[in-house]
Amino acid sequence: MSYKGIIARYAEVPGGIIEAFHAVEKEFSFLPEEAIAEAARVFKVPAAEAYGVASFYSMFSTETRGKNIIRLCESAPCHIAGAAEVVAALEKELGIRMGESTNDGLFALEFTECVGQCQATPVITINSKPYLDVTPDIIPNILAEYK
Amino acid sequence: MINVTIDGIKTSVPEGSTILKAAESIGVKIPTLCNHPDQAVKGNCRVCVCEVEGSRLLSAACVMPVWEGMAVKTRTPKVVEARKTILELILSNHPQDCLNCIRNQNCELQTLAEEYFIRDNPFSQKTRGMAKDYSTPALFRDPDKCILCRRCVEACSVVQSVNALGLDQRGHHAMVVPTMGWDLIDSPCVMCGQCIHACPVGAIGEVEEIDRLLAAIADPDTVVVTQIAPAVRVAIGEEVGLATGDMPMDVFAAGLRQIGFDYVLHTNFTADLTILEEGNELLKRLQEGGTLPMFTSCSPGWINFCETFYPDLLDNLSTCKSPQQMFGALAKTYWAEKSNIDPAKIYSVSIMPCTAKKYECSRPEMNDSGFRDVDLVLTTREIGRLFRMSGIDFDKLAGSHFDSWMGAYTGAAVIFGASGGVMEAALRTVYEVVTGQTLENVNFEVTRGIQGIKEAEVDLNGTVVKVAIANGLSNARQLMDEVRAGTSPYHFIEIMACPGGCIGGGGQPITKSNAKRVERINQIYVEDEACEIRKSHENPEVKAIYEEFLHEPLGHQSHHLLHTHYTAKNKKVL
Amino acid sequence: MAEEMRIVLRNYGKIDPLNIDEYIAAGGYKALEKAKGMNQIDLIEEVKKSNLRGRGGAGFNCGQKWFFANQANADQKYVVCNADEGEPGTYKDRLIMQGDPQSVLEGMAVCAYAIGANKGFIYCRGEYPYVVDILNQAIDQAKAKGVLGDFDIEVRMGAGAYVCGEETALIESIEGHRGEPRFKPPFPGVEGLWGKPTIINNVETFANIPVIVEKGADWYASIGAPSYPGTKVLTLTGDINNKTFFEVPTSTTIKEVVYELGGGVAGGKKFKAVQIGGTSGGFIPESLLDTTISFDAMSAIGATLGSGAVFVMDETRDMVDVVSKITKFFEHESCGKCAPCREGTARMNELVGKIKGGQGSSADITLLKKLGGVMSIACLCGLGQAAPAPVLTTLGHFAADYEDKLV
């Protein structure tokens, strides 16, 4: 679906620009400039303001990124449970650094704040689906689900 | 009334007053940085924090309303430590570049750093490392210097409804940026420069071009000719330590000659000429059923705004060039011929209260004289710098005349500098042209003042002409939306991009409040009253140019040199 | 022996959360019916008398807050449920919403009746899209059953901004803006969402409401600590044997939580510190473990109950290392609106990093203390005011961890 069609679905939702951005991200993995401009038109706010909203929230990206977004929590509970080793393993397995996307456009790797699954740290999420008690050796299996 | 005690002083203030207002009323000064007298309260810099009895937290004086029995302390060690620490934090992220800064000695942050004797900042110096944005010919941005007070954002959005500025990112990475983080030129910016007045520091300024003037003056083969816009005189004194309005015009002219200008002429001359052209254009539209309401076209920020946001209304714009560009086209034709100077050698410099004029003179179509009509635009502030650099003592300087052919002007031209002035000047002339009678009282008080939208009706021999005046682009937008909707009752609308008109222009001495704009407006009318001739059509040099060169308003020569056309800006986003 | 007491988790694991009939069979929506039979002021008085205090962290008397909104004159009022659970180590709102979503809807509906609102929002954090699905299903079922009457509830999703847990930032976000806190006053109860009187309560607060209405204020007020009665859901993380959750009366001590419910420090190691209330909570040393978890007892030792996260660290943990993650968190999560937080969180992270890297001096410690002191009293909102707490409390209780690294 085009970003115009996606955004139009939320046109009648007061303050719905964030909901619209979520929907666009779901489709495109990021917020293209044209989509931000379109949202500005639909929600009747200046483009400068719509961009300010898009760039404020860390789940939104205004730059292209991989299709499957891997987020890794490094808050204190995950940190002391070994999040750093998981970071290293993910970076090695994907051949990219945190904050980057793979060349094939399949994966994006980024830090996130706590994802609220702290009963089983460290935690990663892929497209918001949580993976619990993650250790470096189970990472290839997890990633295989998305290849 | 609410009873409060501030630093032991008891006072009563109206309900809803903030601590800051209450303190001001009894002469207790609380420092501020994001606070702006004409804007919404921001409460984000926290420099104004005070102790309130019974509260663990400090209160920001600019936002905290007082309550009955409130006891405030504004100078305790806790308060001073907090303010100093906040200033140190802001300064540690601010380039230590004061000596090279366009706002050196006129910077709110610098002043506070001095008042709070910031010496050895314990925080390490770390700036954002952003590149400056010189994408427009009028304004530059230096994002490293931005302290995120957001006053420019409000000026651009609320005051001007241009919305070219917004925020990017958050936290320590937050920045004020043009739309989408693009260069300013790609945003809907109209280059009015109101953000400059709003900025407490040097994060936005005019593109300085003093060096180009100095090079022209230094070249013996170049004849440097200048024009002074109507709003400049009332404000230039502020740049050289005089009170608003305190620089006599002849002393100003003498000062310019001291700097090295070869000929000192006046935009007021073409302001008067504009009235003849624009007044006749209005009459023609009224008589022949042309597009109405007609909009004035003197303000280049407004022209940019119309071309950007109301491209469907370009036919409503008067085709008259602004007085600056009329002057430019005539200086290298009519005046060059009269003065027997090769126009190729003329370097035409205008002194303007305006930043958008820098852009206007660079518009590709502005070359009807066969040359670049205006070569250089300097703002009032830039001329102020030149005066200070030249060490001119204006108290001792003897006045000087203006040069001939394009130096004479009337009170009607003077008032172009204030919102409503073009309208009043036009009415003075149009009334006499239409009725054939002498206008005894030339003062149209209803058109005057800083009020955002003004309206009036004038009876011209039975024909009632409805006019409206807007200053500030948010006010203009209101009138434009009516026009677009087909509900505008007016025949003629004057619009000035800047609040108060050109006296509040983006190139004027840094104007921290509308109160200063009002002061300048008042001075404009003092000058008008003092003029012997106060109607544009009675300007002897204007009469001469029609006799010798233009022959008639809206004639062939006028069409070629004094009128222009407009083009939709087609910005990617608004 | 400390024991669990389940009020907000009364149905957790016992009913199918996606089947409203099971909630109703368990007594659900009786409280709403009872509430609607009461005069609004009497209802609010009852909630006030229960002394239920907000479970979101600020601890304001819930009934009192409702009273302000009830008294406000407006054509439109809103009820907002704060489900932007973002405190690291916290997942209790998720448990409630996943396990018993109708209890939250019922609590909101009681509030709506009390203040005279017909529109509600649940602002759920963007990290919980699967919870959003559950909430939407629950709302659809409740609408189909007609139990909510004319009260409409809509779910909105956050997008990764911890600061939106602050009620005015949350309002801004629902309105579609950057999640930047507003200055208070005016408080949301007077001027909130779209400028209308708005009650914002935490998920856990709302989940308490039906039980209070049903069993009465006196019953509730008698549970736990008198000044902060009721229960609190705690989530145990870190170096603890039972990495799980418990709902306990607020008179329970930290020691009971860690050693009895939590089963003590994992791996047979010694206890070093516990941070309670989420990432902005103070660090608590062994000497203070007899403190009860109630709001005021925690405040008295310079700590907070906050979200109820209980993060335990064993003897091998370096406080500077742990705190460095926290300062990084706050640098990232500051909204950037006010100067002391925007610049201060970054400087705090820089200074802690410098000390952690062995480059710090005693002057840096002094500066950290000054900075922390200023931020805690001068920042615009709770985020900036609370951000220095982990640094200041570890500097106080675990100074050696810092001093060992100084140049």
Peptide bond into A122 cis (omega under 30): yes
Name the residue in chain B with its Cα closest to that of C354.
B124
* Nearest-by-Cβ selection for B44 from C332, C334, C339: C339
Residues C325-374: pLDDT tens digits?
A: 999 999 999 999 999 999 999 999 999 999 999 999 999 999 999 999 99
Average pLDDT over residues B402-407: 94
Region of poorest pLDDT, from B220-234, B435-449, C116-130: B435-449
Question: Is C83 domain-assigned?
Answer: yes
Q: Give the C-alpha separation, C78 to C62, whole Å.
A: 15
Nearest to B498 by CA among B524, B521, B517, B472: B472
- C94 and C232 inside one domain: no
Residue B208 annotated in active site: no
Q: Give me chain B's average pLDDT, please.
A: 97
| End position of a domain, from candidates C177, C201, C222 | C222
Dihedral angle sign, alpha carbons of residues C55, C58, C63, C66: negative
Nearest-angstrom CA–CA distance, C233 and C236 = 10
In tens, the pLDDT along B131-173 reads 999 999 999 999 999 999 999 999 999 999 999 999 999 999 9
* Residues facing residue A69 across a β-bridge: A108
Q: How far is C160 from chain A (nearest CA, A)?
A: 5
Residue C398 maps to which CATH number?
1.20.1440.230
- CB spacing of C333 vs B171 below 8 angstroms: yes
Nearest Cα residue in chain A from C280: A76
Has B15 been annotated as catalytic?
no
Please indicate, yes or no, if residue C184 is contained in any of the structural domains: yes
Can you read off the two tokens belonging to residue B425?
A: 């000047």
Q: Are residues C84 and C214 in the same domain?
A: yes
In sequence order, what DSSP letters do the residues of chain A get, joined into one string? --HHHHHHTTTTSTTTHHHHHHHHHHHHSS--HHHHHHHHHHTT--HHHHHHHHHHSTT--SS---SEEEEEE-SHHHHHTTHHHHHHHHHHHHT--TT-B-TTSSEEEEEES--S-GGG-S-EEETTEEE-S--GGGHHHHHHTT-
CA dihedral A80, A84, A86, A90 (to 10 degrees): 160
Q: Does C3 map to a domain?
A: no
Closest CA to C321 of C237, C403, C407, C401: C401
Domain boundary among C280, C314, C348: C314
State yes or no: is B68 an active-site residue.
no
| CA contacts within 13 A on the Cβ side of C164 | 35
- Two tokens, residue C81: 């449920």
Angular region, C146: left φ>0, alpha ψ -120 to 50, beta rest? left
- Answer yes or no: is pLDDT of A123 > 90: yes
Identify whether residues C286 and C330 lie together within a single domain: no
φ, ψ dihedrals at B370, nearest 5°:
95, -5
- Whether A48 and B166 lie within 8 Å, measured CB to CB: yes
Give yes or no for C342 touching B (CB within 8 A): yes
B97: phi then psi, degrees, rounded to nearest 5: -125, 25
Per-residue confidence (pLDDT) for residue A1, from 0 to 100: 80
Question: What is the pLDDT confidence band of residue C305, given thresholds at 50, 70 and 90?
Answer: very high
- Is the confidence at residue C1, as pLDDT, over 80? no
CATH of the domain at C81: 3.40.50.11540
Domain stop point among C261, C288, C314: C314
Nearest residue on chain C to A120, judged by CA atoms?
A: C243
B502 a catalytic residue: yes
C211 and C68 assigned to the same domain: yes
B486 Cβ partners below 8 Å, 6+ apart?
none
Distance separating alpha carbons of residues B75 and B62, to the nearest angstrom: 15
C9 lies in a domain?
A: no
CB contact under 8 A, A17 and C176: yes
- Residue C1 included in any domain: no
Amino acid at B249: M
Dist CA B296 CA B314 (whole Å): 11
Q: What is the pLDDT of residues B421-450, one digit of tens each?
A: 999 999 999 999 999 999 989 999 999 999
Q: Are residues C258 and C361 in the same domain?
A: no
User: Does C60 share its domain with C204?
Assistant: yes
Within C330-401, strands assigned E span: none
Give how far C68 is from chain A: nearest CA, Å. Answer: 25
pLDDT, average across residues A79-97: 96
Amino acid (one-letter) located at B319: T
Task: Measure the CA–CA gap between C4 and C12, rounded to whole angstroms.
Answer: 13
Collapse the DSSP code of B205 into the 3-class scheme (helix H, G, I; strand E, B; otherwise coil) and give the result.
strand
The architecture (CATH level 2) of B211-393+404-561 comes to: 3-Layer(aba) Sandwich (3.40)
pLDDT, tens only, B162-215? 999 999 999 999 999 999 999 999 999 999 999 999 999 999 999 999 999 999
Query: Catalytic: B48?
Result: no
Examine residue C141 and state whether it is found in any structural domain, yes or no: yes
| Alpha helix segments (H runs only) across B356-408 | 356-360, 380-390
Supply the CATH classification number for the domain B91-206: 3.30.70.20
Q: Could you read off the pLDDT of A2-17 as tens digits, one per residue? A: 999 999 999 999 999 9
Query: Which residues share a beta bridge with B471?
Result: B496
C-alpha C277/C-alpha C282 separation (Å) is 8
Question: Does residue B455 carry a catalytic annotation?
Answer: no
Enter the tokens of residue B193: 């420069």
A22, A39 in Cβ contact below 8 A?
A: no
Give the DSSP H or E segment for C160: none
In this complex, the chains that touch C, judged by 3 or more CB pairs closer than 8 A, are: A, B
The residues, ordered by sequence, that sit 6+ positions from C259 with a Cβ below 8 Å of its Cβ are none
Out of 3.40.50.720, 3.40.50.300, 3.10.20.740, 3.30.70.80, the CATH code matching B2-75 is: 3.10.20.740
Q: Is B569 a catalytic residue?
A: no
- For B170, which of C335, C347, C374 is closest by C-beta distance? C335
- B169, B170, B573 ranked by CB distance to A47: nearest: B573
- At a CB cut-off of 8 Å and minimum separation 6, what does B464 contact? B457, B458
For C319-329, how does the pLDDT look when each residue is reduced to its tens digit (9 = 90+)?
A: 999 999 999 99
Chain A contact present for C270, CB below 8 A: no
Q: What is the mean pLDDT of residues B86-101?
A: 97
C235 and A CB contact within 8 Å: yes
Chain C residue with minimal CA distance to A81?
C238
Inter-chain Cβ pairs, chain A and chain C, closer than 8 A: 128
Q: Are C11 and C99 in contact (CB under 8 A)?
A: yes
Report CA A4 to chain centroid distance, whole Å: 21
- Tens digits of residue pLDDT in B362-403: 999 999 999 999 999 999 999 999 999 999 999 999 999 999
Q: How far is CA B484 from the centre of its chain?
A: 26
Rounded Cα distance between C369 and C390, Å, is 11
Which residues of chain A are at the C interface, by a Cβ-Cβ cutoff of 8 Å?
14-19, 21-22, 43, 45, 49, 52-53, 56-60, 73-80, 112-121, 125, 128-129
Paired tokens of B479: 């009138």
Interchain proximity A48–B178, CB inside 8 Å: yes
Q: How high is the pLDDT of residue C27?
A: 96
Q: Among C80, C163, C177, which would you mutate to test the A interface (most chain A Cβ atoms within 10 Å of its Cβ)?
A: C177
* pLDDT for the residue numbered B304: 98
Min distance B61 CA to chain A CA atoms (Å): 28
Contact status of C379 with chain B (Cβ, < 8 Å): yes
Residue C2 pLDDT level (bands cut at 50, 70, 90): confident
Tell me the two tokens of residue B132.
Answer: 């400056």
pTM listed for this prediction: 0.96
Which of A33, A46, A62 minimises the CB distance to B574?
A46
Same domain, C83 and C183: yes
Together in a domain, C246 and C159:
no
When CB atoms are compared, the residue of A43, A80, A129 closest to C322 is A80
Residue that has been written with the tokens 């500025």 in this structure: B165
Domain assignment of residue C324, given as a range: 319-403
CATH number for the domain harbouring residue C245: 3.10.20.600
Closest approach of B497 to chain A, Cα-based (Å): 19
Domain boundaries in chain B? 2-75, 91-206, 211-393+404-561
- What residue of A is the nearest CA neighbor of C318? A80
For residue C156, pLDDT beyond 90: yes
Contacts of A49 in chain B (CB under 8 A): 157, 163, 166
What residues 80-99 of chain C have any CB closer than 8 A to a CB of chain A? 85-91, 94
The answer to whether B266 and B409 are in contact (CB under 8 A) is yes
Cβ pairs A/B, distance under 8 A: 46
What is the dihedral sign for C-alpha C254, C260, C262, C263? positive
**Nearest Cβ partner for A76 among C94, C326, C335:** C326
Annotation says B318 is catalytic: yes
CA-based R_g, chain A, Å: 17
State what percent of residues in chain B have pLDDT above 70. 100
pLDDT at C103: 98
The answer on C164 and C49 residing in a single domain is: yes
- Nearest by CB: B89 against C185, C336, C339: C339
B108, B277, B360, B519: which one is catalytic? B360
Side-chain-side CA neighbours of C299 within 13 Å: the count stands at: 9
Asked whether residue C204 falls in the same domain as residue C244, the answer is no
Q: Which of B345, B319, B322, B351 is closest to B332 using CA atoms?
A: B345
What pLDDT shows up at residue B574?
84
Q: Between the CA of residue C266 and those of B253, B436, C3, C262, C313, what are the distances in Å?
A: 86, 102, 21, 9, 9
Q: Are strands C245-249 and C271-276 parallel, antiparallel or unpaired?
A: unpaired
- The average pLDDT across C16-35 equals 98
State the nearest Cα–Cα gap between A99 and chain C, in angstroms: 14
Tell me, what amino acid is at B342?
Answer: D
CB contact (8 A) between residue C337 and residue B44: yes
Amino acid at B60: A
B333: left (phi over 0), alpha (psi -120 to 50) or beta: alpha
SS3 label, residue B405: coil
Burial class (CB in 10 A: 0-12, 13-18, 19+), C214: middle
Which tokens in the block code for residue B39?
């804007």
- Please judge whether C237 and A118 are an interchain contact, meaning their C-beta atoms are less than 8 angstroms apart: yes
Q: Is there a contact between B168 and A52 if contact means CB atoms under 8 Å apart?
A: yes
Average pLDDT over residues B297-309: 98
C168: contact with B, CB 8 A cutoff = no
- Tell me which chains share at least 3 CB pairs under 8 Å with chain B: A, C
Closest residue on chain B to C374 (Cα) = B82
At residue B104, the pLDDT reads 97
How far apart CA C355 and CA C353 sit, in angstroms, is 5
Write out residues 198-227 of C within 8 Å (CB-CB) of B: none
- Residue A48 near chain B (CB below 8 Å): yes
**How far are the Cα atoms of B47, B75, B79, B120 from residue B116, in angstroms, in the given order?**
11, 12, 12, 12
Q: Which of C87, C90, C94, C127 is the best mutation test for A, with the most CBs of A within 10 A?
A: C127
Which ranges of B120-228 does DSSP label H, i.e. alpha helix?
151-154, 194-198, 210-218
For C260-276, write each residue's pLDDT tens digit: 999 999 999 999 999 99
* Same-domain check for residues C241 and C258: yes
